[in-house]
Amino acid sequence: MSSIIQFANRELNTPIQEHMALDHWYSCQSNTSLTQVNQLPELTTQSICFFGPNIQLQHLLEVEKFLRTFAIEQTYFTAYQPHEQLPVALGIRFNASQLPSKAEVRDFAKSINAQGAMITQAPTLEEPGLLVMDMDSTAIQIECIDEIARLADRYEEVASVTAQAMAGALSFSESLHRRVASLSGVPLSQIQSLKENLPLMPGIEQLCQALKQHHWHLAIASGGFTWFAESLIEPLQLDAVFANTLEVENEQLTGKVLGDIVDADKKAEVLGQLATQYAIPMTQTVAIGDGANDLVMMANAQLGVAIHGKPKVVENADAAICEGSLLQLLYLLGVPK
């Protein structure tokens, strides 16, 4: 296997040497299997990226050793920094007859204290796109229904229904109706402060701002509630919100949900509907979420990314961000071509 390093990347804000220990820089420069270029040739649609606050370009030699275990004919490394608030990442494009699996890439990334993903035909920031995101535990750090239950001192009752749903004893729709029924009589005034102070997931505002600058459309498709989701429209610059509507009478929750439930299939439907509405090709769509209820939507998108996801979601997603800021999604969209 021969390898080429793109040291003069236009997206790197500082010289690559500043990101490498001197001995590793010398090792790369003197390694006869590594050749320096200023521009990458046309390659296959697969790419790998390794990213995170602990990734160093000195890991390049370890990455090359890992890739040698596969039938990869030629590898092109590049250092890139898709946002000034993100550290430098390693991007890899290659020609190969045998590819590492997503799990193998993730496991190797852990061995160098980083995160990694293998991506096929990722959407690009160079064209308008569509990001559809889950809300609870994805765009925000909490599960709203759990927090309502805590404030109303009904958490154990709601948690019992949640446990049944996770065990497969209840469908999402049935579990939602039962949990909401437990909240009957809760005054809106008791949960108003929760709505006004939703803890955003780190990096989500910066991510949305960056995507908007590249003419992307942004939406939430949530199994949570419009009462909370609509409060995110302004801070996240959302174009659309789809969530469940809590019935309210006399400034109290009635314990009922109005209209159709936003479940896994509805989320996937929203993705396709918005892509058509905004004239975005499906090849330019991204869906992110943390739970099993997001998997259908994520599978329908060109790129489905697990965000601090459950093990099943991480396993089935195209890529995963398991630690750190959501701004890191830009790594997956910005591997230099």
Query: Which residues are catalytically annotated?
Result: 134, 136
**Spatial CA neighbour of 117 closest among 86, 90, 95, 78:** 90
Cα within 13 Å of Cα(104), Cβ side: 10
The DSSP string of 203-243 is THHHHHHHHHHTT-EEEEEEEEEHHHHGGGHHHHT-SEEEE
Q: Is 44 helix (H, G, I), strand (E, B) or coil?
A: coil
The DSSP string of 105-164 is HHHHHHHTTSEEEEEES---TTS--EEEE-TBTTTBSS-HHHHHHHHTT-HHHHHHHHHH
Place of tokens 């239950």: 149
Distances (CA, A) of 24 to 57, 92, 94, 259: 8, 18, 22, 60
Supply φ then ψ for residue 240, to 5 degrees: -160, 150
Q: Is 334 helix (H, G, I), strand (E, B) or coil?
A: coil
Lookup: tokens for 87 = 């550290």
Cα within 13 Å of Cα(1), Cβ side: 22
Asked if 172 contacts 145 with a C-beta cutoff of 8 angstroms, the reply is no
Question: Rounded CA gap, 220 and 242, in Å?
Answer: 6
